[in-house]
Amino acid sequence: MSRPSLTLRPNLLVPSIAAVFLALAGCNADPADTDAADTVDTDAADTDGTDIPEDVDGDGYLAAEDCDDSDAGLHAWGPTSGYYRFSSQAEIDAFCTWFEGTSCGGTVDALTIVGSAASNLDGLDCVTHITGDLDIASNPALTNVDGLAGVTSVGGNLNLFDNGALVNLDGLGALRSVGADLYLEYNGALKNVDGLGTLRSVEGDVYVQYNDALNNVDGLGALSSVAGQLFVNDNDALTNINGLAGVTTVGGHLSVYDNAALSNVDGLAALSSVDGNLTIWNNPRLRNLDGLTALSSVGGALHVTDNDALTNLDGLGALMSVGETLSIRDNDGLANVDGLGAVSSVGRNLNVEYNDLLTDLDGLGAVTFVGGDVAITNNASLPAAAAQAFVGAIDAVVGNVTVENNGT
C-alpha cells in the first residue's frame, strides 16, 4: 500500500549507519563476537565487553532506535514515527492499515489535518501518543474527532481551529495532558468541550475563543492549573465558566472578555492567584465578581472595564495587592468599589474613570502606595470633593495625579 501524504524527519527516511555496514559487509555469524569483527553487535548482554551498538534482531535498526528489537519486521523508522499531514479522507482512512504494518506502537511525532474535506478521523484510531503537535484546522465537513479516542497525550500544541461543523470533542475522552498550548478557536458549531473531561494538565496557554455556539466549558473540570495564559474570549453563547472550578492558579494572563451571555464568574471560585494580568472586559450581562472570592494577588494589571450590568466588586474582597495597573473603567452600573477594601498597594497606575453611578471611593481607602499615576476622572455621580479627599489620603504617589470631570 502506498504511504499516506506525510512529512517525515529526513534522518528517518534512510536506514541507520549500522544498516549500511550490514548491507556492505554482512552480519558476522559469531554472535559472541569472539573475534571482535562484528560491526553491529547481536550480543544483547554485551558479554564480550565491546559495547558496540546492538541490533539484536538484525533488521538494520539499532536497539536505541528500534521500537521492537526482537522482531525484524517491526522498526517504525525509530522510536517515533514521523510527522504526518493529511489532506483527504482517503489518506486518513488508509493510515492505520499502513502504519500498523510497520510500527509496534501508536506513537507519532505530529499529526496535521488542515484544509481537508474529511468528515471524520476514524482512520487514525491506532494513534495513542503524539510527541509534538496535533493540528486540526479549517476542515469544514469535520463533525467529530472520534478517531482520536486512543490518544492519551499530546506533547506539543493541541490546535482545534475553524472547524465549522465540529459539534463536540468527545473523541478526545482519553486525553490527559497537553505539553504546550491548547487552542479552541473559531469552531462555530461547537456546543461543549465535554470530551476533554480527563485533561488534567496544560503546560502552556489555554485559549477558548470565538466559538459562537459554546454554552459551557464543563469539560475542563479536571484542570487544576494553567501554566501560561487563560483566555475565555468572544464566546457569544457562553453563560457560565463553571468548568474552570478546579483551577487554582494561572501562571500568565487571565482574560474574560466579550462574552455576551456570561452572567457570572462563579467558576473561578478556587482561583487564588494570577501571575499576569486579570482582565474582565465587555461582558454586558455580568452582574458580579463573586466567583473571585479566593483571589488574593494579581501579579500584573487588573482591568475591570465596560461591564454594563456590574453593580459591585464585592467578590474581590480577598485581593490585597495589584502588581501593575488597577483600572476600574466604564462600568455603567457600578455603584461602589467596596470590594477592594483589602488592597493596600498598586504597583503602577490607579485609574477610576467613566463609571457613571459611582458615588464614593471608600472601598479604596486602604491604598497607601501607588507606583505610577492616579487618575480619577469622568465619574458623573462622584462628588469632586470626595475624589480629592481620596487622593489626598494616599501616603505615596510616584507619578502624576489627575482629578477632573467628576460630579459636583
Can you give the three-state secondary structure of the chain, one letter per residue?
A: CCCCCCECCHHHCCCCHHHHHHHHHCCCCCCCCCCCCCCCECCCCCCCCCCCCECCCCCCCCHHHCCCCCCCCCCCCCCCCCEEEECCHHHHHHHHHHHCCCCCCCEECEEEEECCCCCCCHHHCCCCEECCCEEEECCCCCCCCHHHCCCCEECCCEEEECCCCCCCCHHHCCCCEECCCEEEECCCCCCCCHHHCCCCEECCCEEEECCCCCCCCHHHCCCCEECCCEEEECCCCCCCCHHHCCCCEECCCEEEECCCCCCCCHHHCCCCEECCCEEEECCCCCCCCHHHCCCCEECCCEEEECCCCCCCCHHHCCCCEECCCEEEECCCCCCCCHHHCCCCEECCCEEEECCCCCCCCHHHCCCCEECCCEEEECCCCCEHHHHHHHHHHCCEECCCEEEECCEC
Instruction: State yes or no: pLDDT of 284 exceeds 80.
Output: yes
What sign for the dihedral angle of Cα 319, 240, 236, 117?
A: positive
- Taking the C-alpha atoms of residue 139 and residue 110, their distance in angstroms, rounded to an integer, is 17
Segment 314-324 shows an average pLDDT of 96
Instruction: State yes or no: pLDDT of 62 exceeds 80.
Output: no
What's the predicted TM-score (pTM) here?
0.80
- Taking the C-alpha atoms of residue 326 and residue 328, their distance in angstroms, rounded to an integer, is 7
Instruction: State yes or no: pLDDT of 248 exceeds 70.
Output: yes
Better-scored residue on pLDDT, 204 or 11: 204
pLDDT for the residue 167? 96
pLDDT for the residue 9? 30
- Model confidence pLDDT, tens digit, residues 121-163: 999 999 999 999 999 999 999 999 999 999 999 999 999 999 9
- The residues, ordered by sequence, that sit 6+ positions from 339 with a Cβ below 8 Å of its Cβ are 289, 312, 313, 314, 315, 316, 317, 363
Measured from the Cβ of residue 357, the count of other Cβ atoms closer than 10 Å reads 15
Better-scored residue on pLDDT, 316 or 20: 316
Band of pLDDT at residue 81, cut at 50, 70 and 90: low
Q: What percent of the chain has pLDDT over 90?
A: 75
C-alpha distances out from residue 291 to 142, 269, 308, Å: 36, 5, 18
Kindly state whether residue 97 falls inside one of the protein's structural domains: no
pLDDT for the residue 102? 56
Better-scored residue on pLDDT, 9 or 181: 181
Cell of 345: 498597594
Measured from the Cβ of residue 219, the count of other Cβ atoms closer than 10 Å reads 22
Better-scored residue on pLDDT, 58 or 8: 58
Kindly state whether residue 90 falls inside one of the protein's structural domains: no
Instruction: State yes or no: pLDDT of 101 exceeds 80.
Output: no
113 and 70 fall within a common domain: no
CA 172, 175, 180: angle at the middle one, nearest 5?
Answer: 110
Segment 229-258 shows an average pLDDT of 97
211 and 115 fall within a common domain: yes
Segment 81-98 shows an average pLDDT of 89
Which residues face 153 on adjacent strands? Answer: 129, 177
pLDDT for the residue 97? 85
Segment 64-71 shows an average pLDDT of 59
Kindly state whether residue 103 falls inside one of the protein's structural domains: no
Instruction: State yes or no: pLDDT of 251 exceeds 80.
Output: yes
Q: Which of 206, 164, 168 is nearest to 184 (CA)?
A: 206
- The residues, ordered by sequence, that sit 6+ positions from 68 with a Cβ below 8 Å of its Cβ are 57, 74, 75, 104
Mean pLDDT (the chain, rounded): 86
333 and 265 fall within a common domain: yes
328 and 206 fall within a common domain: yes
196 and 329 fall within a common domain: yes
24 and 168 fall within a common domain: no
Band of pLDDT at residue 6, cut at 50, 70 and 90: very low
- Model confidence pLDDT, tens digit, residues 171-227: 999 999 999 999 999 999 999 999 999 999 999 999 999 999 999 999 999 999 899
Instruction: State yes or no: pLDDT of 35 exceeds 80.
Output: no
Instruction: State yes or no: pLDDT of 38 exceeds 80.
Output: no
Kindly state whether residue 89 falls inside one of the protein's structural domains: no
Kindly state whether residue 84 falls inside one of the protein's structural domains: no
Which residues face 390 on adjacent strands? Answer: none
69 and 114 fall within a common domain: no
Measured from the Cβ of residue 213, the count of other Cβ atoms closer than 10 Å reads 15
C-alpha distances out from residue 145 to 125, 167, 341, Å: 10, 10, 48
Q: Identify the domain containing residue 34 by its residue range.
A: 1-79
pLDDT for the residue 45? 56
**CB of 75 closer than 8 Å to CB of 102:** yes
333 and 370 fall within a common domain: yes
Kindly state whether residue 296 falls inside one of the protein's structural domains: yes
C-alpha distances out from residue 184 to 36, 119, 161, Å: 58, 19, 6
Segment 270-287 shows an average pLDDT of 97
346 and 244 fall within a common domain: yes
Segment 104-115 shows an average pLDDT of 86
Go through 58-93 and write b for each residue having 16 or more CB atoms within 10 A of its CB, e for each that does not.
ebbbbbebbbbbeeeebbbbbebbbbbbbbebebbb
Segment 18-31 shows an average pLDDT of 34
- Taking the C-alpha atoms of residue 275 and residue 49, their distance in angstroms, rounded to an integer, is 54
Segment 23-32 shows an average pLDDT of 38
123 and 62 fall within a common domain: no
Choose one of 32, 61, 79: the last residue of a domain.
79
- Model confidence pLDDT, tens digit, residues 217-234: 999 999 998 999 999 999
pLDDT for the residue 172? 97
Choose one of 79, 99, 126: the last residue of a domain.
79
Segment 108-124 shows an average pLDDT of 94
pLDDT for the residue 28? 39
233 and 169 fall within a common domain: yes
Choose one of 62, 79, 96: the last residue of a domain.
79
249 and 327 fall within a common domain: yes
Band of pLDDT at residue 60, cut at 50, 70 and 90: low
Segment 162-168 shows an average pLDDT of 97
pLDDT for the residue 90? 95
- Model confidence pLDDT, tens digit, residues 356-406: 999 999 999 999 999 999 999 999 999 999 999 999 999 999 999 999 999
Q: Which of 41, 98, 97 is nearest to 69 (CA)?
A: 41
Kindly state whether residue 121 falls inside one of the protein's structural domains: yes
Segment 36-40 shows an average pLDDT of 50
Kindly state whether residue 92 falls inside one of the protein's structural domains: no
What is the total count of domains within the chain? Answer: 2
CA 123, 219, 258: angle at the middle one, nearest 5?
Answer: 110
**CB of 301 closer than 8 Å to CB of 327:** yes
CATH at residue 318: 3.80.10
